[in-house]
Structure 1
Amino acid sequence: MKFALAAKTQSWVVAAMICAGLWAHAPPAAAQANPSAVTECASNTAMEPCVTRARAMVASQQYRAAADYLEGACIRGARAACDELWPILLEPIYGLRDGARFYSVFEASCKAGSMGSCQDGALVAAGASGSEHTIAYKDYGRVRAFGDPGCAQNRMEACYGLMLLYSNSDSPYRNLDQAIVYARKVCDNGEWSGCTIGSGLIDGLSNVEVATRSADLYALNGGACRAGQEAFCKGLGNIGKMAGRVDQYGPQDAFHMFMVDQAISDNNWGGSVAYAVNEARSPAAIRHAIERASSLGKMEYVAQNDLSSIQSHYTQEQAGQIASTEMARRSGLAGQQNPASAPTQESFADAVAERNRQADQVRDANRGKKLSCYVKDGRRICSYN
């Protein structure tokens, strides 16, 4: 049984609901297997012959008899028998439509140690079996009976069912903490949809909560990136830095520093400082932004009013000294004369006015801009507008 992604098309769901309504009026299937099948399939050595006989019965459309022969073998752990049995019990083409028998047989098989049955039961109960006809048998209350033992043995499909149990909006057991735990397990087992689902859960949180869970976000986005989901690669390094700063700076400042790094990664050096000064108003972010702009040699892009603010409030710190040095540099440029041209007092005034005009352009390019964020492909993207 292959699992399906959580998202389904509307027409698919409507079709499943119509089918469910028709099945509800069908007569119940027999509760017990055919006595002759029980007798013939009583020993482990008889399991393979019973599966072979059941396949022949399916070919001749003796579906109920086939189910009787497969049931005992499935319960005793014959994977081939379980693979043949679940569609006969659940798919409408076979006519049995017996969800109760499916859960009874597969739970017994799971308890007997068949991890394949555990993962199949978890997927059906979570509504993600991959078959449109099994959605009617979704039962969140049954997921853990299959998912817990299966996931404990690192069966990814069982972990996937638990992830849906705790993440789906229609689940009465929805729990963000548990959803992220199982999303990590699914992701770590190589299923990239678990990475993107977990990332999306974190992206929907507040800034502080995003930073608090940034180690999980880094792992989830990294898993998606390695699986070829390129949208999750951008900013991955900055998320890792944020995760490394939470303990030292706290989640709020760690997030603001992350936003500074994101702006720098987009070559918006002036915007990174403007965000720190005007939006974040965080000393840690301001120090980080001005020091990064200086180390990258991009101080010319920092708005004059932001430099003035930093110089005023951080006079005795490196940040204030960097701002003072840049302001002095700009003043010196405005006052420089080119000996070769021997400018007149009028041309010097023009030079000062031009430099002031350039500084105003830099300031206006960032001043008043608002930070806007949106989520695309499970990733938070921010820019200044």
Structure 2
Amino acid sequence: MFLQKVYVLDMRAQQLLRPLACRSLATSHPRAEIKAAAEEEFRTLEIGRKKRERFTAKTFKPATMLPPRYKQQKTDQDWGSVWPAARTFHPATVPFPVRQGYPASGQPTPDKWANAELMKIPNFLHLTPPVIKRQCEALKKFCTPWPAGLETTAKQEKHFPVTVSKSSYLHSSPTIRDPKARIVTLKVHLRSLDLDYHGRDKLLRLVGERYDADTDYLTLVADRCPLSQQNYDYCQYLLTVLYNESMKTEPWEHEKELVDLEKYVWEGSPSQAAAQNVVTARGISDAEELLKEYGQVVTDLHNEGEDEATVLRYQESVMKLLGLTDPQDTATASEPKYIQGEVC
């Protein structure tokens, strides 16, 4: 029994001492290796200049440069295959001399080699006449002949007076709809609507700034609906409503006075009545011609404004209508004329 207890105590002691022994071996092993390596090496003292090892320097040979491509090109080559698309200028490919840039004092214009000016600007070497002809021939099968009877712009405006334009946009994004793609613009010449004076005057008052007097274009822009087709239908509806409303004559429109008109109208005005009375009292034979000329001058004076030309024309027309002579002409005629020292 006593021996069994001693054996158990001995086993417990070995179990307790085993981790300590492993730790001491693990910590002492690297030091032992360092000490052994230090004993093997012996530092020697070198006195004098250290000898340098001789080495041969490498010789750099320049890379073999191939000759420019244009020297291998044939005169009857297909230039569309050499320069098929738009690209930066390359001097080794272009077979003809090109110069571009600001020359230095006493020096010629820089040539095409290493010329940044030629590389910055766009070139059209891919759009030569043979290439354009080839592309047109390829696209001809997708085209239809031009309609007969629409050879001139006047005929096109006569048969198709309304012009509708819209834009489509392409984005590299998850959405395929652009807000600006719904905008529809409708243009039409006002003279193609066949309106009388009343209808034209009323339509111009309804559209306001949408009419351009210089080009005679009425422009309607629709962007309220989410789809372009809806905006197109709205433009058609708006043009129809404007035309129908301008052709209507309301009862209150008969109460319009001369000051309410867009332009001065001489027919039926007090000026026409006064001029007619003057012509009748004088008994002029060419009264219609005088009245027509006087009416045109008065209309231009009111509509175009007063300037030196319109006032002078108005003066001459009034004097013709009243049968008066120009005071300046009378004074000039009364002055004596001297011809070669004699009084005539």
TM-score w.r.t. structure 2 length?
0.22
Q: More helix per residue: 1 or 2?
A: 1
Structure showing greater Rg: 2
Query: Whose relative contact order is higher, 1 or 2, with alpha carbons under 8 Å and at least 6 apart?
Result: 1
